[in-house]
């Protein structure tokens, strides 16, 4: 910057460029080439590239759309991932056709496209990346009981700034990413608006800094016009990107998700420095390159890598499922480790790849499978649901209660136990991690619990996965010992909507409710876990270990306890006294 003594203002020193419009045309041809307003040779290359690549991305996203209910697409968040890919592709298309439309793609248009569309695409892509950290952390919470896991109300930041900082510290990774991305978007919009209004470079008639540099040199932003958008890109890719990489460094899942995240994060880093270097450089070689290759073209490799990674890795994981299914059905021989089955790492033990072996593990020793699922497959909540439903049915329909008529109080307790399962694992508003069932199955189950609501929906309650109803809390955990007063989501946290105190408890049970209320969801999740978790788990074991032995994973705090710890899976969590009814309104 330099100080002007005449008008007493500081001015950004512009990049030295030819002053006249004619000289600028020869100085840099990347925007206003002297070839005439027609499709020249380079234009006939850029346009087919844009069309062909758009077709490839569209085909990949359409294929993923039809697989959006699979576990690998669901945990990644299909709609969020697709939105980020589409936003980045809109900007990528503008880069690819920038040279052919250089006569109509004016400076202000390029400025706002980069200021609005590109940061939105980068932000959505970072939000998509944050899901793996959030999923991994939530799965770990199913294994180790935290001291406290409250969802506190968001304080008013301008009234209690320190309270907001404490709240931000306790956020999960996805929420922290949202705060960072939204703040970056606000900064980019405010900074770019200020630059556009104030820079004389965009409009010759008004402004309060810079100078008119001509239509050809306007695209170079000689007075720092691109600084806000460059800063927003650096914040997202060079600040939050490495931060996410640090959290994801030890995650090794079975869905290629961690590999995809790391590759995408690294791919997004070189674009901004290269763009700025080729934008402001006056080196003759760089200028010669800029004649045919746009400055923003240096974003092309990173954006394409992000898009292809978001499409190829999920499809690659989806394509593995038929291999496992064929192995179970005996349609694929796995005898030669040097053949194509080398991708499976080891031979399948036919006895372990049966549904009977899977159900036996659920019944007798689910802990190794649960730990592996939490660390590698992100399906611990689904396994917990299976065990909960099985214990609930055994408790209320086992040999001791078979062919016995339940008293009204017992029937109400059975219904309330089912409501605990519903709000803990199925209801998307109250569950920490929801199980993977279809809309039809969800509506069929939810109709029985429309008149029941849990307390503390505002977020003042403790974690739904408390010591009382957690499937595998590794009892006597030090965290549990340190907080013995923690009460969880049990029947005491249920109340009936619009119920009268004098109304009979038995009448609150919906008609048609029975022990089969969860059967459809149980069967769907059991099959899904068998094919997508159990077979992967068996494949991940060493050839010398069996299905109930320790898995080959990076041990966490959840699995460092003594192996003789008694499993809590054989007993249904004991509930508190039934809650008092809410008075009728």
pLDDT digits (tens, 9 = 90+) for 481-501: 333 322 334 445 455 554 444
CB neighbour class for 573 (10 Å; exposed up to 12, middle 13-18, buried from 19): buried
* Least confident window among 19-33, 416-430, 507-521: 19-33
- Does the structure show a pLDDT above 70 at 83? yes
Determine the pLDDT at residue 182: 94
Give CA 481 to chain center in angstroms: 33
Q: Mean pLDDT over all residues of the chain? A: 73
pLDDT of residue 20: 41
pTM, 2 dp: 0.72
Q: What is the pLDDT of residues 341-360, one digit of tens each?
A: 444 444 455 667 788 888 88
Specify the pairing of strand 2-4 against strand 9-11.
antiparallel
Task: Quickly count: other Cβ atoms within 10 Å of residue 265's Cβ.
Answer: 22
pLDDT tier, 478 (very low <50, low <70, confident <90, very high otherwise): very low
For the chain, the farthest-separated pair of C-alpha atoms sits apart, in whole angstroms, at 100
Q: What is the pLDDT of residue 16?
A: 44
Kindly tell me if the per-residue pLDDT of 574 is higher than 50.
no
Q: Quick one: which of 279, 272, 277, 273 has its CA closest to 294?
A: 279
The whole-angstrom separation of Cα 320 and Cα 34 is 53
Which of 142-156, 352-366, 558-572 has the lowest average pLDDT? 558-572
> Which of the pair, 66 or 395, is modelled with greater confidence?
66
Comparing 342 with 129, the larger pLDDT belongs to 129
Distance CA 168, CA 162 (A): 10
- What is the distance between the terminal CA atoms of the chain, rounded to a whole angstrom? 69
Strand-pair category, 452-454 with 2-4: unpaired
Burial 452-475 (b: 16+ CB within 10 A, else e): bbbeeeeeebbbbbbbbbbbbbbe
Q: Is the pLDDT of residue 87 over 70?
A: yes
Composition of the chain by helix, strand, coil, percent to 5: 55, 0, 40
475: three-class secondary structure by DSSP? coil
Contact 156, 387 (CB under 8 A): no
More confident residue, 321 or 112: 112
Residue 518 clears pLDDT 80, i.e. is over it: yes
| 125 CB-near residues (< 8 Å, 6+ apart) | 84, 88, 264, 268, 306, 310
CATH T-level assignment (fold) for domain 26-141+177-320: Rhopdopsin 7-helix transmembrane proteins (1.20.1070)
Higher pLDDT, 107 or 489: 107
Residue-wise pLDDT for 412-460, tens only, equals 888 888 988 998 889 888 887 888 888 899 999 989 988 877 755 433 3
**Confidence grade of residue 214 (pLDDT, cut at 50, 70, 90):** low
Q: Are 263 and 306 in contact (CB under 8 A)?
A: no
- Per-residue pLDDT for 35 more than 50? no
Decide: 185 and 119 in contact? Cβ < 8 Å.
yes
Please give the average per-residue pLDDT across 29-49, as a whole number. 67
Say what percent of the chain tops pLDDT 70. Answer: 63
C-beta of residue 150 within 8 angstroms of C-beta of residue 459: yes
Grade residue 472 by pLDDT with cuts at 50, 70 and 90.
very low
Percent of the chain with pLDDT over 90: 26
Domain positions in the chain: 26-141+177-320, 347-570
Average pLDDT in the 54-79 region?
92
Cβ partners under 8 Å of residue 29, min gap 6 = 35, 290, 291, 292
Residue of higher predicted confidence among 347 and 280: 280
Position 31 pLDDT exceeds 60: no
Asked whether 451 and 499 are in contact (CB, 8 A), the reply is yes
Find out whether 539 and 344 touch, Cβ atoms under 8 Å: yes
SS3 state of residue 11: strand
- What region does 150 belong to: left with phi over 0, alpha with psi -120 to 50, or beta? beta
Q: Are 425 and 384 in contact (CB under 8 A)?
A: yes
Over residues 258-282, the mean pLDDT reads 90
Q: Coil, helix or strand for 106?
A: coil
Q: Tell me the C-alpha distance between 324 and 533, whole Å.
A: 10
User: What pLDDT, on the 0 to 100 scale, is given for residue 460?
Assistant: 37
Choice between 322 and 536, residue whose per-residue pLDDT is larger: 536
């Amino acid at each position: 910057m330099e100080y002007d003594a005449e008008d007493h203002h500081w001015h950004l020193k512009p990049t030295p460029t030819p002053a006249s419009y004619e000289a600028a045309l020869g100085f840099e041809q990347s925007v206003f080439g002297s070839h005439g307003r027609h499709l020249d040779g380079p234009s006939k290359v850029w346009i087919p590239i844009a069309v062909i690549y758009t077709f490839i991305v569209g085909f990949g996203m359409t294929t993923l759309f039809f697989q959006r209910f699979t576990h690998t697409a669901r945990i990644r968040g299909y709609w969020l991932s697709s939105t980020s890919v589409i936003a980045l592709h809109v900007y990528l298309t503008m880069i690819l056709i920038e040279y052919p439309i250089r006569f109509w793609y004016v400076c202000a248009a390029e400025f706002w496209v980069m200021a609005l569309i590109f940061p939105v695409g980068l932000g959505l892509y970072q939000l998509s990346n944050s899901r793996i950290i959030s999923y991994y952390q939530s799965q770990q919470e199913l294994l180790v009981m935290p001291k406290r896991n409250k969802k506190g109300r968001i304080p008013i930041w301008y009234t209690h700034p320190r309270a907001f900082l404490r709240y931000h510290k306790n956020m999960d990774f996805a929420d922290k990413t949202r705060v960072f991305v939204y703040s970056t978007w606000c900064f980019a919009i405010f900074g770019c608006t200020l630059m556009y209004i104030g820079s004389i470079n965009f409009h010759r008639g008004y402004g309060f800094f810079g100078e008119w540099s001509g239509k050809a040199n306007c695209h170079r932003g000689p007075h720092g016009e691109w600084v806000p958008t460059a800063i927003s890109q650096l914040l997202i890719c060079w600040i939050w990107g490495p931060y996410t990489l640090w959290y994801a460094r030890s995650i090794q899942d079975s869905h290629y998700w961690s590999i995809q995240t790391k590759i995408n994060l690294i791919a997004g880093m070189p674009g901004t420095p290269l763009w700025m270097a080729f934008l402001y450089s006056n080196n003759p070689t760089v200028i010669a390159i800029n004649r045919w290759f746009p400055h923003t073209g240096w974003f092309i490799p990173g954006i394409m890598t992000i898009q292809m990674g978001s499409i190829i890795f999920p499809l690659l994981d989806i394509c593995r499922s038929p291999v496992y299914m064929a192995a179970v059905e005996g349609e694929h021989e796995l005898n030669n480790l040097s053949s194509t089955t080398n991708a499976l790492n080891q031979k399948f033990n036919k006895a372990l790849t049966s549904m009977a072996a899977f159900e036996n593990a659920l019944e007798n020793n689910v802990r190794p499978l649960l730990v592996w699922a939490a660390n590698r497959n992100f399906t611990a909540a689904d396994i917990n649901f299976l065990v909960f439903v099985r214990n609930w049915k055994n408790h209320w329909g086992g040999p001791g209660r078979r062919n016995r008529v339940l008293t009204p109080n017992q029937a109400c307790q059975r219904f309330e136990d089912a409501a605990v399962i519903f709000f803990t694992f199925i209801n998307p508003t109250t569950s920490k991690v929801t199980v993977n069932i279809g809309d039809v199955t969800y509506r069929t189950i939810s109709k029985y619990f429309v008149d029941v609501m849990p307390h503390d929906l505002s977020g003042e309650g403790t974690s739904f996965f408390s010591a009382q109803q957690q499937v595998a809390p590794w009892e006597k955990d030090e965290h549990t010992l340190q907080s013995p007063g923690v009460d969880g989501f049990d029947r005491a946290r249920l109340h009936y909507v619009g119920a009268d105190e004098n109304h009979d408890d038995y009448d609150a049970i919906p008609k048609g409710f029975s022990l089969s209320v969860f059967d459809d969801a149980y069967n769907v999740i059991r099959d899904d876990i068998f094919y997508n978790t159990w077979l992967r788990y068996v494949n991940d074991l060493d050839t010398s270990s069996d299905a109930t032995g320790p898995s080959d994973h990076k041990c966490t705090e959840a699995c460092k306890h003594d192996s003789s710890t008694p499993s809590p899976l054989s007993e249904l969590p004991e509930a508190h006294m039934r809650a008092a009814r809410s008075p009728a309104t």
